[in-house]
């Protein structure tokens, strides 16, 4: 299982992730990315058909702001902005 969320403290709004994985990432009014799967809470498992896009987005983020985990990010407070 894979879970994902964006570290909005380090995201520089480069815009790569939403282009690479539009079914996973979108941007708030300031261009900062968030996961649309679960309002960037990282508690919703990424479906298998999206995992390749997710990996590409992970590899393509210039600030390593896309976080991946095998378990839900249940205890990390981040908002979708």
Residue 4 C-beta: closest distance to ligand F3S, Å:
10
Is residue 33 close enough to count as binding ligand F3S by CB under 6 A? yes
| Dist. CA 34–CA 26, nearest whole Å | 6
**Residue 5 main-chain phi, psi, to 5 deg:** -160, 165
Contacts of 15 (CB under 8 A, 6+ apart): 27, 31
- Give, as ranges, the residues between 41 and 80 that touch ligand F3S (CB under 6 A): 61-63, 65-66
Question: Which residues contribute to the site for ligand F3S (CB under 6 A)?
Answer: 6, 11-17, 33, 61-63, 65-66
């Amino acid at each position: 299982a894979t879970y994902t969320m964006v570290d909005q403290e380090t995201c520089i709004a480069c815009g790569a992730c939403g282009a690479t994985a539009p079914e996973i990432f979108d941007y708030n009014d300031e261009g900062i990315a968030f996961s649309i799967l679960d309002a960037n809470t990282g508690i919703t498992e990424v479906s298998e058909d999206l995992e390749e896009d997710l990996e590409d987005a992970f590899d393509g983020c210039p600030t390593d702001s896309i976080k991946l985990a095998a378990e839900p990010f249940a205890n990390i407070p981040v908002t979708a902005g």
